[in-house]
Each structure stands twice: as structure tokens, then as C-alpha cells.
Amino acid sequence: MTARGSLLALATMLLLVGDPRLAAAPYPLFDAHIHYSRPDWDAYPPERALALLARAGVRRAIVSSTPDDGTLKLYERAPTVVVPFLRPYRTREDMAGWHADAGVAAYVEERLRRGVYRGIGELHLGAEDVDAPTVRRIAELAKARDLFVQCHIDETTVEKMLTTYPGVKILWAHAGMSSTAATVGRLLDRYPMLWVELALRTDVASDGTLDPEWRALFVRRPDRFMVGTDTWTTSRWEVVRQATARNPLLPLRLFASRNLSASNVIQAIGGVAMFGFFFMGSLDMQRVLGYGPLAIGLAFLPVSIGMGALSIGVTARLIMRFGARNVLLAGFGFISLALVLAARGPVSADYLTDLFPVLALLGIGGGLAFPSLGVVAMAGATPSDAGLASGLLNTTGQVGGALGLAALAAVSTSRTGELIAQGQSPVAALSGGYHMAWAIGAALAIASAVIAATILKSETPVTSAIPVEEELEETCA
């Protein structure tokens, strides 16, 4: 790994977020963070994994694996592509306590005798582990052989590593995941043995635009940065695969939008909260309260009426006046309150005093929250991506809701069994299980509101020939 390779990776990143004409050019990439661990071997045999890297324009890649055999599988087939790093984890279980295991140091020393490695890592540790004998031995081996040590650690730990082991070359994975450009710049200025790679750091170029502070740092220190993918789990190889497609089904550029990414998370967990109540609420009415099918359908009318009334223009006008994000927060406030009331309700609930307020609040909350979520998610989408972004949001809601409902059902069933074992009647036990599911749903709704308040940005939708008010009304409907 050379300064020239680092500069090449940085230049590629700058071009990709700069002039689109330059981004289209076939610049080679140096990927500084690839794993090829045991779960990947069947899904992506070595030839296929290497082909994916080649089609993505990755000319060389730092590869480390658990176990190390994965790295060697790729290196033996493509020694001019793979830059092998020796990961100290013999199994995934080593990740938690490797620094206190003398056997790890012996394992690393034995593997290094192969003479093919250019670094050790990626490894994980905290500041309290820096002085551990195994860490010290690995640092000694790295310094003696002029190897990099790739560390996934925070800024406090990286500074302690640099001061405790002077002369050891540290490749700081993910720039600590959250360290600011100012902090990274200060550390680079102070420690000449520090290099930084930026895998998973989408905040560096949020919404596809390079952050000015990071850009200034890249220009000032162009030979100290690298980029990477981090295939830490098998599904991350799909990121490489999608990047190679000329017309991918789901272009990865969509996820550069903070609003769209966060909106999909909210859609998934917020949908679980709503679906969970609809499903468990129906069972509660049938199995605990003794309602028949017609009575259950009529009981849920307040939800349908609330959502329907708000969708015929009311929510759109509220969004125009107060902003989609604020209306979204209000909607999830109503949903959270409804589910808290449901979770605290009695076993033998009365419809008018106990259930009707919950159902009415859910109708109002859903009628405000989910149309607003669609507006926020679509605000940053270009006209050509609008349909795809909308489809992604709907799919996330359906899939997330289904998976979450399965989990809630399992929790509810388990709680019912516990209550029966404690001597409660079947009806009371069933009610207790449903109430626990509603409590979890309330927590998910509150979490959705917190994500919306802290991550989402209020944005004006991308303009088009359709008047904004008409477009909002169509979205809300």
C-alpha cells in the first residue's frame, strides 16, 4: 500500500461527487476494506467475488477475513489484486476477547511466516485494551515487519495506540465511524504514522454532495486517505454487485439521500407499530372481548374514517402550512399516545371508553404521519427516481411490517405462555400477551418520532410542472 494508492482512491472519490462528466470515466479504485469471511464462501465463490470487484473497477483491494483462509483463497487466485491483511480472529467469537488471548498472538506470529501479508487487521479494541500483552505483541510484529495495523476504534483509542506504539503504521478504519473532519485533521497533523479509510462514512458526502470541511481536509492531506466498501456481512457483497450493474434495479445513489434512508427506517418500524395493533387488536376483540367478524370490522371504522378524512386534502394543507416533518412528528405523537393507552388498558375493555379513543387516535396519527413521510422521503428524489423511491418506501413498509408482526406475535405468544404458567386464566393471559405487543409498538412509534426529529430534514419537494399543492394532495391521497 503506497501513498500513490491512497491518492488514487481519494481522487476517485472526489471525482465521483464532483463533475458528473468526470464521474463517468473508468477510474481504477483501491478498496481499502474488503472482508471475505466464511459465510461468504458459498454465496460468492472466489472467482465470482473477484469478478465482482473487477467489474466495479477495483484494481486492488485490502482483504482480511475470519478465518484468514478466506483472504488466502482470493490472494492465491489474484495476487496482483488482493493486498492481504492478517485478521487475528480465528473464529468470529475471537472478536470480543482476542486482546486477552495469548493464543491469538501465537496464531498471528505463525501465520505471518507465510510472508505475504501487508498488514494486520481489521481488529477491534477499546482504550482499556491498548496495553494488553496480545495487542503489544501484534504491534511489535507489525513494526518489525513494516506492516500496517488496521483498527476499528474510536478517536481516543487511536490516539492512545499512536502514542503507546510509536513507529507503528495505523490504518484507522471508518475514521472512528463518527469522528469529525476537524478531529481527523488534528490527528493527521500530529501523527505522521496515521492513515484513514472512510468505509461506511456516508456523512462525508451526505446527499451526494461532498462536505466542505472534509473536502478541505482531503485537499490538504491527499496522501493520507483511502475509501472502502466493508463487506462485513455477506449481504454487503450486494453493494459491490449493484455497483457493477449498468442499470441496477436499485441504484445505490438513492441511499445517499439522508431523508430517503431515514424515511425507510421510519416506515419499517412505524409500520410494525400500526400492523401490530391491527392484528393483535383484532385477536383481542375476538378471543378476549368476544366480538364477531362484523363487530370487529365496525369497531375499526374510526381508523378508516380518520385516515380517509385527512387524506382528502387536510394533511396536504397542513404540510403546506407547517412542513411535512412537523406534521409527521405530530402524527407519530398521536400513534404513540394511542398505543400507550392500548397497552395500559384493562382486560375487559369497554369499546367507548377504552377502545374508541385508541382507534380514533390511530386514524388521525396514521392519516398525518404516513402521507407526510412520503412527502419527506420524496423531497430529494429527482423526477427520474421518484417512482423507484416511492416503490422502495412502500416495499419497506410491507416487508418491515410483516417481519415485525411475526416478531411481535412470537413475543405475545411467549408472554401468554408465561402468564398461564403463573396461574392466570387463558383470557387474562391472552390479553397480557397482546398488551405487551402494544407496549413494544408504542416504543417503536416513539423511536420513529425520535428518528424523524433528529435525522430528517424539512425539504421542499423537487419542482416539476405540477403545482406544489396539487402534487402534495396527490401524494397524501
Q: What is the pLDDT of residues 200-251, one digit of tens each?
A: 998 898 767 889 999 999 999 999 999 999 999 998 887 776 665 556 667 7
Q: Are 28 and 8 in contact (CB under 8 A)?
A: yes
CA distance 171 to 284: 56
Q: What is the pLDDT of residues 91-147, one digit of tens each?
A: 999 998 999 999 999 999 999 999 999 999 999 999 999 999 999 999 999 999 999
β-sheet bridge partners, residue 120: 86, 149
Instruction: Find the Cα–Cα–Cα–Cα dihedral 195, 200, 206, 212, rounded to 10°.
Output: 0
pTM equals: 0.60
Q: What is the pLDDT of residues 253-282, one digit of tens each?
A: 777 778 888 999 999 999 999 999 999 999
Where do the domains of the chain lie?
3-253, 257-476
Q: Are 375 and 319 in contact (CB under 8 A)?
A: yes
| Fold agreement between 3-253 and 257-476 | no
In a 3-state reduction of DSSP, which class is residue 255? helix
| CATH of the domain spanning 3-253 | 3.20.20.140
DSSP one-letter code for 29: E
In a 3-state reduction of DSSP, which class is residue 120? strand
Overall CATH class of domain 257-476 = mainly alpha
Strands 148-152 and 119-124 come out as parallel
CA distance 394 to 102: 51
Q: What is the pLDDT of residues 357-412, one digit of tens each?
A: 999 999 999 999 999 998 888 876 776 677 788 888 989 999 999 999 999 999 99
In a 3-state reduction of DSSP, which class is residue 450? helix
